[in-house]
Amino acid sequence: MAKKIHIKRIYENAAPDDGYRILIDRVWPRGMTKEKAKLDEWNKDIAPSTALRKWFNHEEDRFAVFKKKYSKELAGQSATIQRLKKIAAKENLCLLYGAKNEQYNQAVVLKEILMAG
């Protein structure tokens, strides 16, 4: 069974209970240093494609369609999904993103997929 999978903006301070910290953005967050990010991994491949990210633009009314399209993209990342599930089984997993919108972003979708058995 998974430990805790949580999502957090990269701009929030790292905490001891974050566990494994993975940035799931394709673009490095503006103004963030590698030292302050305290990442275990930066995985650009699991981030939404550039075209999908630009189309979505974190607009709430597009989230349902974004979620479907991003889920399809993630279906092609099964090895990475399985690896993240294994990490989450051993320790807390913190999915980090740069977007300002805390409710409508790729971390919300990825967490849902990781939690779904």
| Residue range 14-24: mean pLDDT, rounded | 96
Mean pLDDT, the chain, integer: 94
Rounded to whole angstroms, the Cα distance separating 79 from 17 reads: 25
What CA–CA distance (Å, rounded) separates 36 from 10? 9
Is residue 39 within 8 Å of 23, Cβ to Cβ? yes
Q: What is the pLDDT of residues 26-68, one digit of tens each?
A: 999 999 999 999 999 999 999 999 999 999 998 999 999 999 9
Q: The whole model's pTM is what?
A: 0.94
